[in-house]
Structure 1
Amino acid sequence: MHKSLVWLEGLPRFSVLKFNLYRAWLLLNHLVPEYRDFEVFFIAGSKGKGTVASTLAAILAQAGIAAGLVTSPHLLNLTERINFNGADINEETLEEYVADIRANLPELSQEYGAWIFGEIILAAAFMWFRDLGARTIVLEAGLGGRLDAGNLFRRPLATCITTVSLEHQDILGDTVAKIAREKAGVIKPATPLVTAAKGEALTVLRHRAVRLGAPVYSYPSDFAWQEERALALRLPDKTLALSTKFATEADKANTAMAACLATFHPLMTDKAIVEGIKSSPRLPGRFEVLLGRPAFVLDVAHTPESVANLQAAIVRRHPGGKLAFVAGFLADKRATEMLAIMLSTTELVYWAPVLDQRSFTPEGLSGGIQVDSISEGIRAAMSQADVVCITGSFAAVREARLFLVQRG
């Protein structure tokens, strides 16, 4: 890896002194003030953000709109986070932008702490998009929403909060309502909000939207799939016929949200929405199926809700097949609940720490089979199951992918 990218990877992920937008504002206005001219779709939420963002980018491409795409985290390569018109930035180009940023960082007073990873990579992405002549950007929020750098865009084309569930409780809050209030920070005055949030979370989002005069489009009440005779997507102002298959119910909701968001671009067409959904690539690690004996399913599900959705999809796709899970969790996730969901289907649940400094520790987990590594869990599961699912975190899927590639 190039020197500047090593420096970038070594930066802290979070500020230890202040959570605010000043550092991002200072950096972008110093290095790429043209960012203010971008038309932005801003996407936050507890899960599904990457799928919504990448599907929306594919729809925009079908409409002839060359769009920049920023997602996180990456699975294998840092370059996965920055994409323009369907192609990821290459490592050499990213190195050049990061080196330029590093050499020209504006002076930052001590009270604001050090620069963090997300601010630098966002600046690099915007510089690349500017130089390529991009005008439309699909921007996935990182942690939370209220203090994400995407809030520097005061009037995006539309915002999205996919879902809200308990996550990052040490930072975002220890209840769904508190986390929803953090994510509601992405809602902007008179700007459409698209969401699949439910219950208490949706109530919080609606309350904020009403205060700001932002129209809310909620899945599945305001837009939804119809399957009476043939599959069709009912959007707020039209219904589109499609012939797409979905692996999970979450896939259906995420695709519907992307389509609904797309309608708020002035150059969008019905054909582009249909063709964009058909052509949208499945992201690695999102119900990624590797056929064989056994078959492998790699999925970055990291909440109890998403693990339950994943489990149901596997059972539906492989009825009667013997299933094994290999799981690894991060410390701030609800590992006990996820493990219990897996154990409700099979006794073959292997769990291990992951290669991440935020990995969970074995204390407090019970049930299943503890192993020393994800690769050890895969080896043990392979001889006992027809389907082996690796899940629980990006880190677990990352290790599994590397192991399976090396194994051939």
Structure 2
Amino acid sequence: MDSESILNKKSAPNENSALNNKVISNYDSDIICKPILDYEAALNFISGRAIFGSRPGFERINALLDRLDHPEKGLKYIHIAGTNGKGSVCNTVANILTKAGYKTGLFISPFVSNFRERMQINGEYIEKTSLVTHTETVRKVVKEISKLNIEPTEFEIITAIMFLYFKAEKCDVVVLEVGLGGLLDSTNVIDTPLCSAIVSISFDHMSVLGNTIEEIAVQKAGIIKSNGVTICAPNQPENALHVIRTACFERKNKLIIADPSEIDLISDSILGNTISFDSITATLPLIGKHQIDNFSVSREIIKVLISKGFEISNDAIKAGIETTTVPARVEVLSTNPLVILDGGHNVDGAKALKNALCKYIADKTKTLVIGVMADKEVDLVLSILAPLAKNIITTLPNSNRSMKAEELAKAAKKYCKNVESIKNPTDAFDKALKIKNDSIIICGSLYLAGDVRQHALKRLNN
């Protein structure tokens, strides 16, 4: 398994302390003593930290940043949290700012195919040499604080590298996506940003974030800082919106609720939405009605930035919209044959995919290639997507949280009679190509998207 794959093979985010202690006792500390001289070594060092799991709190990230002279200070941020839509909003806003001439950092989580997707400047991935340099800087600090029994997690290491990179490159602005939740996420060490944004909130990662919408909303609203501006997605559950309103009141934030009714939908298709707003007409190459809601958040972010002195022309907004791409978000890999890749991994994500499929390709027969995490609401996701398919191939994404392909196939047979399991994701896709249906839908997990995307593009282009 290569280092890129290892980095996408995450441990469960809710590992308890007993398991963490057991794993840490077996940790090979030699890895932090070896200088990082090349890209593979950098990836191996980062992936090696996965054994420490995902542990909320700021002790470890602050210990890192203290000794790195706080590279997070002095940068301007747009901080984005939420359950669904973060990637679309982050990429759209970053693209518009780039087109407006600002040196724009973008931090996203997770990546789909290439680790360097996580850190971008003006749409370009972090250079391998820069990743090596900054990872080596962080490694030296990790070696030092490890002697104090402070062991940063994988995501905390990545966050520190990101701050070093954007500071060294003197970014004008950074679009910063939360890793998990918000309140205790390591990105939340920043001071009050230019604005905070909270996209759609729904059930996901309940073992970490809570079992009610209110509890989850408290975690998301944790990014709201004193005396700031917060933008909230439309159509939030009322109990989530109450949490956000309360947080904004207590922290003296101006709250802006995005309004998609101010955006006219001119036309839509399986290739995107043509929209009109503020004397601008543009085609957003992101698919589905939910992307209008997401864009309404992006629009409000840009309006806030303009009010703060950013010079962003209508031409830059149009150009930014029309060149926005987000891998594995109802992404059309090919039109002949029609192949759609979607990394949605929760119930709301499944509903958004279903809505797009029913609206744009309702008359096409479908082969579903699906793999899911066992800790998700699997039966609910299947009940939404499986009835749309003529054939289903279940598979095993590259994660130790994945549901076995055979178990998923058994569950899927409740909704579709033509179901088979193929453990290897690329083999599953190759089999789907041989089935004479009108379309192939690859879905269920961002891990599966990462496993299949590059292979599928190569096969489809040959």
TM-score, with normalisation over the residues of structure 1?
0.90
Matched, 1:76 2:113: yes
Q: 1:138 aligns with which of 163, 171, 175?
A: 175
Q: Deviations over 1:310-354 (max 9, x none)?
A: 122123222411122111111222211111111232342322221
State whether structure 2 residue 294 is matched by structure 1 residue 254.
Answer: yes
Q: Secondary structure of the residue that 1:264 maps to in structure 2?
A: helix
CA shift for structure 1 position 256: 2.1
Matched, 1:375 2:415: no
Contact conserved, 1:321 with 1:387, CA < 8 A, in 2? yes
CA shift, 1:391, in A, is 0.8
Query: Contact 2:142–2:152 (CA<8 Å) still a contact in 1?
Result: no
**1:160-216 CA deviation, whole Å, 9 max, x = no partner?**
111111111111111222111111101122212112233322222122222222222
Shift in Å, 1:275: 2.6
SS in 2 for 1:165: coil
Q: Which letter maps to 1:365?
A: A
Q: Please tell me whether the aligned partners of residues 100 and 313 of structure 2 are also in contact (alpha carbons under 8 angstroms).
A: no
Unaligned 5+ segments in structure 1 are: 234-238
| Aligned mate of 1:4, from 27, 36, 42 | 42
1:193 aligns with 2:230: yes
2 CA distance for matches of 1:137 and 1:14? Answer: 28
Whether 1:390 and 2:442 are equivalent positions in the alignment is yes
Q: Is the 8 A contact 1:294 1:385 kept in 2?
A: no
How far does residue 109 in structure 1 lie from its aligned partner after superposition?
A: 7.0
Closer/same/farther in 2, CA of residues 32 and 326 from structure 1, 3 Å limit: farther
Which amino acid in structure 1 is aligned with residue 450 of structure 2? R
Q: Of 162, 171, 175, which aligns to 2:199?
A: 162
5 Å-filtered alignment, 1:176-191, equals 176-191=213-228
In structure 2, the gaps of 5 or more residues are: 1-38, 268-273
**What secondary structure does 2:411 align onto?**
coil
Aligned to 2:403: 360
| Aligned with 2:129 (options 92, 115, 123) | 92
- Describe the shift of the 1:240–1:302 C-alpha distance in structure 2 as closer, same or farther (beyond 3 A): farther
Matches within 5 A, 1:89-238: 89-105=126-142, 107-108=144-145, 113-196=150-233, 197-220=236-259, 224-227=262-265, 231-233=275-277
* CA deviation profile, 1:338-392 (whole Å, cap 9, x unmatched): 1111123234232222111111242783424241333343344331311101011
Mapping of residues 11-90 of structure 1, within 5 Å: 11-12=49-50, 15=53, 19-90=56-127
- What TM-score results when the alignment is normalised by the length of structure 2? 0.80
- CA distance 1:14–1:176, shift in 2 (3 Å): farther
SS of corresponding position for 2:112: coil
Match of 2:385 among 342, 345, 358: 342
Return the alpha-carbon distance in structure 2 between the equivalents of residues 145 and 224 of structure 1.
Answer: 29
Give 1:3 shift. 1.3
2:91 maps to a residue whose letter is: S
CA RMSD of aligned residues (A): 2.5
Alignment check: 8 A CA contact 1:302 1:333 kept: yes
Contact residue 68 and residue 138 of structure 1 kept, 8 A: yes
Distance 2:77 2:353 in 1: 31
Q: Does structure 1 retain, via aligned residues, the 8 Å contact 2:365–2:438?
A: yes
Equivalents in 1 of 2:66, 2:60: separation in Å? Answer: 10
Separation in 1, partners of 2:391, 2:240: 34
